[in-house]
Every structure is written in C-alpha cells, then in structure tokens.
Structure 1
Amino acid sequence: MSPRAAGYDVVVVGAGSSGAAYAARAAETPGRRVLLLEAGPVFGAGAAPGVLLDGTRMAAARPGGRYADAHPARLAGGAERTIVRGRVGGGSGALNGGVFLRARPEDFAAFAAGGRDAWSYRSVLPVLAALEDDRDFTGPGHGRGGPVPVRRPDPLLPATEAFIDACRSAGHPEEPDKNAAGPPGVGRLPLNVVGGVRHSTALTHLAPAAGRPGLEVRGRTPVLRVELDRDGRAAGVLARPDGGAPEPVRARTVVLCAGALRTPQLLMLSGIGPPAVLRGLGAPVRAEAPGVGAGVQDHAMVVLGARGAPPRPPGTEVAQAALHLPDLEIMPYTAPFAELIGPGAGPPDQTGWGVTLLRPRSRGALVPLSADPADPPRAEHRHLIDGHDRARLRAGVLHCAELMAAAGLEPADPPPRGTAALDRWIAERASTAVHLSGGCAMGDVTDQWGRVEGVPGLRVADASLLPRVPSRGLNATAVLIGELLGRHAPEDSR
C-alpha cells in the first residue's frame, strides 16, 4: 500500500517560512511520516532559479510573477491595491529583502499573555538561538551552527553612513545588535543574505532534510480544504496535484502553514469559521469559530522618495541599516524600487526611505470573495482608522524628512506640515509592509500550540496564530513559529 493510501502521521500545508521549518523539525522524529504540500514549485538543492536566490534584489515580488500569490487589499483611505506573497518553496521568505529582525521581548509578552508560557521571551530565546548561525555576535541569546545564516552588512554605502550620522546627530542611540533586547536605536540590520544569496527556508531547512526518510515534499499541489470525519476531527486534506483531479490525502494531524491570508481561507472553506461567512460561501458549518479571518494586523508603511540614485556596487544588500523607535521604523533602501523590484515599481531616479508603524492599534479582517480555493480573499487592512496610529505615522513621516535633510538629501515629494493635509498625504501614499498577522489568533481560534479549538487533529503554525503583529518585520518570527511548534508541540493521539 502506498504511503498516500495508508495515510501520514502529519500533513503540513504550505512550504513557506513557517511550513518548511515545521516539516523539517517534525520529520526528525524516527518513524514519523510527514507530507509537506506546497501550492507553488519546490526546488531541490542547487535547482532554484536565480531570481529566488538573488538577495540583492526583490525581482520575484511582482504581481503576475511565476512565484507570486497576488491578492486584493484595501489599504488606508480605502485605496485598492494588489499585494504579493510567495507561492514557492520558502514562501515570502524567498522573495523578500532578507531582513532577519527578531520580535521584541514585549511582543513575546503579549503572545504569552493568558497562560501561553511557551511564547514567553525566556521560552523562545533558546529556539531563536538554535535556529541561527550568527556571523557577528556570539553572546548570550545568539547561536552558531543553526540553519539560518545571519550577518550585518559590511562595508556600508556612503548613503547608509550618512543616514546613521543623521540619526546620531538627532540624538538617537546606537543599536549595534538589533536582535538583542536592548534599547532601540540606529544600527546595521541583521540579514539572512550571505554572499548575495537569500537564505529562505527552502535552502536552510528543506534542502538539508531532502534525504530524510520520513519526509515527502510535493510542490505544485494546492490544498482545497481540510477533510473532517463525521465526529468533526481532521482526517486529512483534499489536494489538487499538478492541476489534476482533486485527491484526498489521509493524515492523523493536519498542520496549516499557508500564511495569514490562505490559512484562514482554508479554515472557512472547510466549514470552520463565522457561521454567517460560511453560509455565504455555501460551506457547511462544521465548527463555529467567529475569530477566523478577524482581527488581522499589518504594518502600514509610507515611502518617502529622495532625489537621486547613488552608485550601488554589485552585491549590495536591499537595505543596510534602520532606525527603530518603540513604535516606528525608518529604513532607507539602497536603490530605487525600479532597480530592486523592476520597471514600474517606482520612479527610477528616487531612492526610497520606508517609514513603518510598528505597533498599530487598528485591526482589519479577511473577506472571502468566493468559494473557489484559487480565489484569494481580500485583506481589509483598515490601516490608520485609529487616531493614535495616524498621529504616530505623522510623526514618523516628518522625522524621516528631517533625517533626509540632515543626510544631505532632497525629498522628491515633501510632506505638508498641517495635520489634516498630512493625513491626506499619508492616506494617498500608505501601503503595507506585507507582514500580515492574525486571523487564527492564539487564545481565540487556537491554543498556544496552534491546536484549533473544537477540531481535534487540526493545527495552525504560521503568522495567522499571532494575536498581534510583531513590532519588527515578520521574517524571523515566521521561521520561529515553525521551529518552535515543529520541535515542541505535543503529538495528537487517535
């Protein structure tokens, strides 16, 4: 009997930053049969195309790209945009700029609230250390020999040095190690880009696990829904290999790692979610879970363009340094978006400085548009509906303009000074940092191990289980989720 017919111990849905890490760790248990399913292609060691490996650009992060999962989004002021996430082994971590910032201790305190002790900073710190191979810092809390290489840019561009000097002159402290728990400030960024190569979990986790007897990986196999038995327990998934006929796959445990957009969608298509939404999709109500798709958060971001495109030597990182305040980030990019992503991504003669709101109070929701699993939901971000969020982003934009001037740069589109005018200016330009979190939050839809309440055998292990967006980029936290839950989550029993 084939493994597919006999069933698996674990089926992991999604080979992105969390899913690849989860599957690799779950398959370390002797005798456990793990199947990893990915909607996009999964490339073996040495076979990934250059566009996924090139950590000096983000050329694959374009709508319509072959490794992109594009979905509609409604941003600040109701602006309609198309947002891109990864649809390939390594997920969005195979497309992004490679910034590998850890979440802050106060983020983990929020994750651990309500008795979720596995998520306290003290509990996760050994996992954070174990997953990295930090080339610069060896002190407590850092690791050597882990799967993810982490380094800081060296040398810095003159433009980056000017930015750091401007921040120092403005009174901001230096923050040499942004993955430590010290006070935030200005400093070099930790990156999982080494020698110009972006090290997504496809390289760091799947490639080393390729020969493991308990792990099977199947790309180009989107999952249509979770299959539940008559008692409401997860019994496997319905998948569509290579665009063919739907095929059931049996499993004792189903782990959804499809990301904060697709995981809530899969739950709803499987009859798990708000009853009114399920009925609108024509799905039977198998488990009432009003929190599915609700309360999502992302980082609102405004990019200020600086006139000019300084020379950028080959091998230069997408970003080299950033200023962090408790709730704001200012990060200069090293080249125009037209160069980093491709023509049409931005003016070719302007280098962007991103201003990001790190601790938003505003929350949004996912709105399913049809019962077709291939049709992504719309992300209703509802950025800046909270007055405090608007005030903080206003402050960030104005401070960014001041730092630009101090660095000897001229803003291409200077922000106005009046509150009402500046709010309009921001709403017209605000986008998202693509750090979507929540929609299956711990303490509501799942417990701290990602077990879906009321549906035995079903788990979530990606950013959708976070009760709030971390106050740093999502890259490192997404890998942590897979590592933590893949290593330590209790087994299900039949």
Structure 2
Amino acid sequence: MSRRPNVAIVGAGASGAVLAARLTEDADRHVLLLDMGHMPHGEEGFGPALLDARLVPGAQPDHPATTAHSVRLTPERPWQVMRGRVLGGSTTVNGGYFVRARRADFHRWAAAGNPAWNYDAVLPFLRMLETDLDFGPSELHGDQGPMRIRRTRLEHPAAAAFRDAAQQLGFPADPDKNDQAPPGFGPVPSNAIDGVRRNAGLSYLPPEVLARPNLITLSGWQARRVVVEGGRAVGVVAEHGGRRAVVEADSVVLSAGALATPHLLLLSGIGPRADLERVGIPVVCDAPAVGANFSDHPQVVLDWTPRGGLGEPTDSWLGGCLHLSSTGSKPDGAAAPGDLEILQSLVPMAGLVSGAVSVPGAPLSFLVSALTPRPTGRLRIRSADPDTPPDIDYNYLGTADDLCRLRAVVRVTAALLDTPPFAEISSGLREPGKQVLDDDSALNQWIRENLGTTQHTCGTAPMGPADDSRHSAVDQFGRVHGVRGLRVADTSILPDAPQRGPAATAVLIGEFIADAIRRDLRLESI
C-alpha cells in the first residue's frame, strides 16, 4: 500500500483487530495497523504457550507478550497490572472469559448521553461478532461471527462439586450467561475452543485478512503521540528500534487499551489543562475527563485444599461461575442483580503464575470479585517524556459498601466449601479462618491485605455529550471532542466498567465503531 492510509489504528488488541478487519472489508479504504507487540500470522505464529487455554499468560510475571503497569489499588497496596502486547492484546493473554455486559450496563451508558448504546441497539452487533457453538442462531445469538464461543464443561470433579454446592445453597441455574436471564450458577462463555484460546487477533485477523492489499501492519512500533494540526489528527509519532517517524494518515483511531490510550491522549495535549501545563505539554484540547474517573473490579483469591489429586482440566483453566447479588446500597435502595462473582480456577494459582497446568499438592482457587460499577480511579500524567509512566490510582475500598460487598462474596464462597458436595473432595478453605470470617473488622483487614484486581479497567476516556467535558472525552461513536479525525475505540470509552469482565464488550466496541466509520454516522441521525 503506497498511498497515505485513510485510517491509522494504534493497537491491535480486542478492539483494534476488529477495526482493522472490518474497515478493510471495503477495498477502497486503506488502513494501517500499528502495535508495539508482535503480530503473528495464524496459530503457528502464536505458538502453543499463548494458545493453551489451560494457561493464563497474563498471570505470569514478565511474560514477553505483556506490558506491566505499576498502579496502586489502595494507598497501601501497590500492584502490577498486566496488559497484552501482541496481536489480540489482552484477549491473547487472559483467561478466555467472554461474557456480555448486562442489559443494565447498556441502559446506564445510554442514559449517560449515548443513546446508540442501549441494549436493543447493540444486540445485532453482539450477534454479529459471535458464532455460538452451544446455542446456535437465535434472536440472542449469532452463528456467522469471527469469535467462536463455547461454554466451559462442568465435568471436572471440582466443577461438578461447585455446581452441586450452588444448587444446594439455593442459587438458580444460569446455563447461558450471555442471555440476560437472572444471574446464578453456570458454565462460563469462553473463546477457548477445544483447548485453544482463540483470541481476537486470531479470530479477526487470520493470515488471509492480514494479506489484504489495503491493510499494512507495523509490529514493534510504539506510538508516542498523535500529531494534531489545525485541530485535526493527521498522524502518529511512533518509534521502532530507537528511530522515530511520523506515520501520516487521514484519521487516527486509538485502540491501545484503557491504560495506554489515555496516556497517548495526554502526551498529545488532550487532557486536563492544569495537568498538561504542569508537565509542559502544549494544550491541544482541554479535556478534563481524560483519566479522571475510571473503574475496575476489586478481587481477592480464596484457596482451598483438595483431598488427593482431582486431575488436570482438559480444555480450559475455567470451571463454573456463580453470580449473586450484593446487599450494598444503591440510590434506589436495591441490590444490583448479579454484581458479585465467584469464578473457579481448575489450575492452581501457582501454576497460572508459572505457566504449568499441574502443581502437585498446590491448592485450587476461587477468584471472587465485586462487579459493581464504581468509577473511583484516576490516571494522571507525570512527565512529557513518553517513557515515564502515568500515575495510576485505583482507589479501591473507599466506602463501607465496597468492603461490605467483598465480605459478602468471601462468606458465600466459604459457605459453598462447607457443603457436602465440596466436603467430599476438599479439606476446606485455607484462609481466612472462621474467627476472621465471623468478624467484620477482622475480615475487612484480611481483604485489605489480600486485595487484587480483575484487570477490567474502563472509563479513562469516557463517552458522553460534548457539552459535558467533565464527564466525557469522546462521543458515542468514539470521536474525541474538540479534535477532528481522532477516535478512541477500546474500553477507555465506557463510562464505567460493565458488571462482567469486559473482553466481549471490547470486541463489541471494535464492531460498533467500525460500523460507525463505515457508515460515517452522525449523532443527529440516531
């Protein structure tokens, strides 16, 4: 492709890979896809270590396909958040969990000034992106999309015990967590098929798509800032092997992820004026919402000890999943339906962090999370030097409700392990012990000391009306307010995190914004 690209996409992850695939379906549109990581061609290019759905490369410290971001979950709790640095982004290194956002999430985002995001409007895109291998085509599911979805099998002894324990405690069956039915226990919709994690890159950009004459890929190139001239984005400054160059384009889409994308905006002079002036970056557009209030989901890991060997999982590290409702207060006084999650790991945590499916004698785990939308985080630029990372505070556990929700989900997990189905295969929860479980103050302290995160960051460049710059940086089609020719297309644009993991929603964002670009939609047409 010798001509100047119509669109330069920064980031080949869950949204960027989708954009590149869909936009190049139009032969007259020329697209350049740039990523700091490797862009393999087909399964062989990824290799078995990235494809094995029984492993989670993102849990392995210093994995070459990841980038580590230093953050603070609370003032006393530093953490490393790992994001994918390879074709498919974090869908290449995550657990393969592919659960749709809830209907209430879409309605909440629509009510925040984004009417095109109501559930009924996005459902066709949700169907279009998937091939549901369990339920097939219907009003809810598709059978022609690039993402192949299959639910985890509950045949492993630990998964069967989880199912029976949840039933014994009265939780409803939830066989399809993508159908918006009342939450309960069920298998996990996943893009792991026959033991292979079919990431978004592999699904949307197979070799035949990467070979399209109107698509150019630049791997190993790191974007440094967007070039804006006369109020319009005209390219990207990128670096490769110590050499910097300007990649020119008619328009630019940032799909670098919810931590890297806002940093690029800030480095480009798009962000809170005072913060930009403090570090000496010329202000292109005063955008106070960039990095101001992002959200994620706090998580703790609960280990339990099996009685003897239960065998290795065959297809996925994931077992069953229980969603239940908290009693945390909301403005309307009601609990959010299914805002707590108990996710089962069939591989020991020691194996997930070391890249081994089996670790003899190691405990198995539940990953328990509060999924209530809570935009408490803040990302601030520290330097005009792009090699200086931003300052990232998650500000977890800021209210009594935050701790109340986590206490509730920890206690339900302990109750599950006390049921007869688990007693047959388990000698119980390792910690916290009963004395801590029964004492709110002691359990609060245990949670603080063991706090982690689901790595579901959203909302660092949220969408909303242009006249509400304190709360919105882009419109509902990802167009950056105040800068022509520049869009954001990743989970940065969600006003807050959905009440499920956001991988499926990240792919949806790619589909939705690709459609907007192809149709040249305007807000007034909705």
Map residues 299-318 of structure 1 onto 2, 5 A cutoff. 299-308=297-306, 310-313=309-312, 315-318=314-317
Alignment partner of 1:382 out of 372, 385, 395 = 395
Give the structure 1 partner of residue 500 of structure 2.
472
Identity of aligned residues (%): 42
Per-residue CA deviation, residues 17-55 of structure 1 (Å, 9 max, x unaligned), is 111011111111221110000011111123112221111
- How far did residue 120 of structure 1 move? 1.0
Q: Report how far residue 76 of structure 1 moved.
A: 3.5
Q: Give the AA of the match of 1:377.
A: P
In structure 1, the residue matched to 2:225 is 225
Aligned to 1:296, what secondary structure does the other structure show? coil
Are positions 1:238 and 2:237 aligned together? Answer: yes
Of 450, 461, 470 in structure 2, the residue corresponding to residue 429 of structure 1 is 450
Q: CA deviation at 1:155?
A: 5.2
Distance 1:344 1:385, change over 3 A: farther
Q: Which moved more, 1:481-490 or 1:369-378?
A: 369-378
Q: CA deviation at 1:481?
A: 0.5
Query: Per-residue CA shift, 1:402-454, capped at 9, x if unaligned?
Result: 11111223111125121111111101111000100011000110000000000
What's the TM-score, normalizing by structure 1? Answer: 0.95
1:257 aligns to what? 255
1:41 maps to a residue whose letter is H
Looking at structure 1, the residues matched to 502 and 16 of structure 2 have their Cα atoms a distance apart, in angstroms, of 14
Matched, 1:181 2:194: no
Q: Which residue of 1 aligns with 2:21?
A: 24
Closer/same/farther in 2, CA of residues 40 and 374 from structure 1, 3 Å limit: farther
Determine whether 1:15 maps to 2:12.
Answer: yes
1:413 has 2:431 as partner = yes
Structure 2 unaligned residues grouped into runs of 5+: 325-337, 465-471
What is the SS of the residue equivalent to 1:234?
strand
Pair 350,109 (structure 1): closer, same or farther in 2 beyond 3 Å: same
Judged with a 3 Å threshold, the aligned counterparts in structure 2 of structure 1 residues 291 and 310 are, in CA distance, closer, same or farther, namely: farther
Match of 2:193 in 1: 194
The 5 Å alignment of 1:87-486 reads: 87-138=85-136, 139-154=138-153, 156-207=155-206, 208-229=208-229, 231-241=230-240, 243-308=241-306, 310-313=309-312, 315-325=314-324, 326-342=338-354, 349-361=362-374, 363-406=376-419, 407-408=422-423, 409=426, 410-415=428-433, 416=436, 417-443=438-464, 444-486=472-514
Contact 2:192 2:315 survives alignment (8 Å):
no
TM-score (norm 2): 0.89
Listed one character per residue, the Cα deviations across residues 115-167 of structure 1 (whole Å, up to 9, x for unaligned) are: 42221111111111111111101232101121011011235211111111111
Q: The residue matched to 2:253 in structure 1 has which SS?
A: strand
Is the 2:15–2:510 contact (alpha carbons within 8 Å) kept by the matching residues of 1?
yes
CA-atom RMSD in angstroms: 2.0
Question: Which amino acid in the other structure matches residue 283 of structure 2?
Answer: V
**Which stretches in structure 1 are left out of the alignment for 5+ residues?**
none
Report the CA distance shift for 1:372/1:492 in structure 2 as closer, same or farther (over 3 A): farther
In the alignment, residue 442 of structure 1 is paired with which amino acid? Answer: M
Q: CA shift at 1:79, angstroms?
A: 0.4
Read off the aligned partner of 2:443 and give its amino acid letter: L
CA distance in 2, matches of 1:61, 1:369: 27
Deviations 1:69-107 (A, max 9, x none): 101111135301112110111101000110110001000
User: In the TM superposition, what is the alpha-carbon distance from 1:348 to its structure 2 partner?
Assistant: 6.2
Deviates more, 1:305-314 or 1:387-396: 305-314
For 1:169, give the aligned amino acid: Q
How many angstroms does 1:314 deviate by?
5.5
Q: Matches of 1:297 and 1:93 in 2, distance apart?
A: 19
8 Å CA contact 1:336, 1:347 repeated in 2: no
Report Cα offsets for 1:173-219 as digits up to 9, x if no partner: 00111100110010011110011110111100111411222111111
For these two proteins, the number of residue pairs brought into alignment is 488
1:47 alignment partner, SS class: helix
